[in-house]
Chains A and B, each alone.
Chain A
Amino acid sequence: MIHSLFLINASGDIFLEKHWKSVVSRSVCDYFFEAQERASEPENVPPVIPTPHHYLISVLRHRIYFVAVIQSEVPPLFVIEFLHRVVDTFQDYFGVCTEAAIKDNVVVVYELLEEMLDNGFPLATESNILKELIKPPTILRTMVNTITGSTNVGEQLPTGQLSVVPWRRTGVKYTNNEAYFDVVEEIDAIIDKSGSTITAEIQGVIDACVKLTGMPDLTLSFMNPRLLDDVSFHPCVRFKRWEAERILSFIPPDGNFRLLSYHVSSQNLVAIPVYVKHNITFREGSSQGRFDLTLGPKQTMGKSVEAVLVSSQLPRGVLNANLNPSQGTYTFDPVTKMLTWDVGKINPQKLPSLKGSMSLQAGASKPDENPTINIQLKIQQMAISGLKVNRLDMYGEKYKPFKGIKYMTKAGKFQVRT
């Protein structure tokens, strides 16, 4: 399946290569560079590129292209999904997935890739298994290893490999047993010029951090499971139980994992937490444009809207922006024409606004489209869909774990057309 992997950085250098079958010359990447040149933006490189003898399937994350070389028919999503899994694993191991981190840990990277694929077919991608095979590098461990001469590499077959719960290693021990669940919801919306919602939907995930001794069997139930329209589970969740009772029943992996991601049924109206009043005008024949933006809270269920960040790609004709924010700071990049306004918290008594003028290129005609405004925000302690966890129970172990649930709402792809 996957023949080789090349890692290419933003400046077009191949800084790592790995082959699982016979060696494929790195000149195959020339086809990739060609496609890269044709694409105006780094994101526009097509994920699948055919070459005379191979096919290149690539993903771009953290400004690194992960290019897999394929020789024959294989579902492209299979490769893409695997590459993303590789990136996730790197992130899990090194904290960040940057060129520097990969270069610093090149041996661990190689060992990981060796374990993840055998002859191009995924072997072990479960983080719990990998961590037993190859221990993540920490400063302490490196120190100990240099002194004692012990290694980072496990000698035994990871316990998960053979068990019915491959995602969990055995013999887990903690002094403080705790299980935390974060319910994070994102609102994707497009708001039109007049402020009416064109489309809005809520997607959510439940991320868990479970540190429990032994083999706990957890059940998580919701007050209102009907809200969940479409769900996808971590493999640990028992599907039949969910089908029958709408209860999440699972033996959790050890550590951090994504338990569930869901889509809230579209019948429910989506509460839009902020509104934007905008007045962006360019006048014909003048080199000035007006920019006026005010934000306000809308349906926030009494919670405050925090970490608001407004960004907008201004038209190419804009040379500079001279604006005055009532709170927060703004930046305008004259090269990319990206306007960013870090608003912070919205105070309902004193609505944040950004007013001022834009100077346009002399002689250039007025841009025919007003820029789209992207908004990021956070609302703590609330899931906007109203989803509530009812209870979390643990079976199979004697101790009493500490349980915690946190709710948060964020803006996903939240756009306001002006």
Chain B
Amino acid sequence: MSPPLLGVEEEGQSRVSSPSVECISHNGLGIRERNYLGLSDFCSVDSSGVPDDNGNNLNLKATELRLGLPGSQSPERETEHCFLNSGKLDEKTLFPLLPSKDGICSSSQRSVVTGNKRGFSEVKGTIYTEKKWMGHGAVPDSQSLQPVSHGKYSVAQASVKKDGPANVVQEQPCTSNGTKVNRTDISNNSSAPTAKAQVVGWPPIRSFRTKTLTTSSKNNDEVDGKPGPGTLFVKVSMDGAPYLRKVDLRMYSTYQELSSALEKMFSCFTLGQCGAHGTPGKEILSESKLKDLLHGSEYVLTYEDKDGDWMLVGDVPWEMFIETCRRLKIMKSADAIGLAPKAMDKSKKDC
């Protein structure tokens, strides 16, 4: 394995965890979408000049679906996705495999499939040579026959490989400095929980596992000032609602945020329009209306703490709350009478 370029290795490692890695790698490597299926040539012309940004952005016009009647024109379709062999995205082409009675459809489907197969068979057997992977991008000349598109890819890759790291090295000093600065800023700010936003469901670890690991690390006293594990899901139930929801308490930093999130989540219930399919409409309450409902006399937010007691939400500081809260419940005010009245006033102020 060839050693990484000087200066790149360390940068590489810090870049791996930098949030700006995406734009750097795309621009630095200049990877472009190629027509490597070996279909119509005109498509490659179009794609060569197109920077990645266009490819990534949602071109809403292009995705706009129209019932393409035969003979109709779709003037401004993007031609980059030309595997369908035409710029038109009419329905017939989109559904080549509708009931086989439709002869037109099945033939266009066939052409698409063979087109693909042709492309793949050309590519097959020529892609994976070890040499290429060892980072030198040299494709043995004898193998770069017809597949123009494939050849393009490998050549591009070779040039990219040479240029890429160099580009990256030039660009990196500013960016990595930038990110380093950001990180120290954030770590100095003690109230911010983590240095980057939490992506839901990533990394893909079952909540069962993170839960058991959480309690394990707490027991072992290994929490040494590090931010806690990423998620803290608790169940939320509401009187009269047919099922529970779950919220991640670590997504919020104040009672206000939690309260608004819950309002949004349960808004469909409060007007009694939940449940069995077939109920008229799915009108969503406007937020202000719901706030009135929640803040008014109808419902209060309560939680069960680690000792199994039900308390009104809002009494304790937020950090303490998320430590002790096991589950939440939106109760009708009438049912919450047993809870301390003093706390009740307080919660009306806070929530």
Asked if A and B bind, the verdict is no
Which residues of B come within 8 Å of A, CB atoms?
Answer: none
